[in-house]
C-alpha cells in the first residue's frame, strides 16, 4: 500500500469515526503501515476534517521523512503495535465514553467479554461462548515506558485486536481499513452493552476481570 492510498483511507475513516463521537476535541490519532514505512496523523487536527496536510510520514525505522506539524506524543505506541503485530496495517486510537469509562471501572488488567453475539465481529472469534479479552494498561505520559509494558504483555499473551489505556481510550488494529473499522465498531458496541449491563446490575456487584 502506498502512502497516498493509506492517507486517503484514513481521511475517510476519520469522517466516519468522528460522526460517531469517538474522537472528540481533536483527540485520537490514526496510522497505517505502508510499503515505505508509516503514515500517522499529526497532533491537534480534528479527525473529522483531515486533509493530506494532517499526516506525517516515517520510514521503516521510524525516522520522519515528510509532513509538517507536530507528531502525536503517541506515535511511538503506534509504531510499536506494528512491530508486535506483523499482520496489522492500520491502528486507530479513539476516545469514546464507553471505552474510557470501562477502562477505569474494571480494576484488573483486562476486560473479558463473553455471551455477546457481536463478539463475532472480531476476527477469530467464532461464537458468543468464546471469551474476548482486551488488555488494559495504566495510562502513562511516558510513551516509551507504556510501549514497553505493552511489549512485555504481548510476549506472554499476544495482542490480537486492541488494547485499552486506562482513563484514556482504545487502540484497535486491523489487517486492512475494513477490518480495523469493523473491529472498532464491534468493540464500541460491546463496550456500550457492557456499560449498560453494569449500570443495570450494579457496578459494585458486576466489576471484575
The DSSP symbol for 175 reads S
Annotated binding site for Zn(2+): 93, 95
Terminal Cα distance for the chain, rounded: 38
Q: Which grid cell sits at 112?
A: 473479558
Annotated binding-site ranges: 93, 95
Burial grade of 177 (CB within 10 A; 0-12, 13-18, 19 or more): buried
Q: What is the DSSP string of 30-54?
A: EEEE-SSSEEEEBTT--GGG--GGG
Quick one: CA dihedral 191, 195, 163, 52, positive or negative? positive
- Neighbour-count burial of 165, counting CB atoms closer than 10 A to its CB (0-12 exposed, 13-18 middle, 19+ buried): buried
Amino acid at each position: 500500500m502506498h502512502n497516498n492510498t493509506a492517507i486517503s483511507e484514513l481521511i475517510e475513516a476519520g469522517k466516519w469515526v468522528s460522526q460517531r463521537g469517538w474522537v472528540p476535541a481533536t483527540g485520537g490519532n490514526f496510522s497505517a503501515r505502508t510499503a515505505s514505512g508509516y503514515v500517522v496523523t499529526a497532533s491537534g487536527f480534528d479527525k473529522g476534517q483531515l486533509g493530506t496536510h494532517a499526516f506525517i510520514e516515517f520510514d521503516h525505522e521510524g525516522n520522519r521523512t515528510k509532513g509538517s506539524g507536530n507528531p502525536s506524543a503517541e506515535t511511538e505506541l503506534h509504531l510499536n503495535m506494528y512491530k508486535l503485530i506483523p499482520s496489522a496495517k492500520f491502528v486507530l486510537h479513539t476516545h469514546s465514553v464507553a471505552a474510557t469509562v470501562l477502562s477505569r471501572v474494571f480494576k484488573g488488567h483486562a476486560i473479558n467479554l463473553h455471551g455477546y453475539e457481536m463478539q463475532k465481529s472480531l476476527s477469530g472469534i467464532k461464537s458468543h461462548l468464546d471469551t474476548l479479552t482486551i488488555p488494559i494498561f495504566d495510562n502513562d505520559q511516558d510513551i516509551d515506558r507504556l510501549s514497553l509494558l505493552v511489549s512485555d504483555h504481548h510476549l506472554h499473551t499476544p495482542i490480537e485486536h486492541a488494547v485499552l489505556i486506562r482513563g484514556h481510550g482504545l487502540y484497535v488494529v486491523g489487517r486492512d481499513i475494513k477490518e480495523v473499522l469493523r473491529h472498532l465498531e464491534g468493540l464500541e458496541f460491546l463496550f456500550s452493552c457492557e456499560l449498560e449491563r453494569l449500570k443495570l446490575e450494579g457496578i459494585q456487584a458486576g466489576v471484575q476481570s
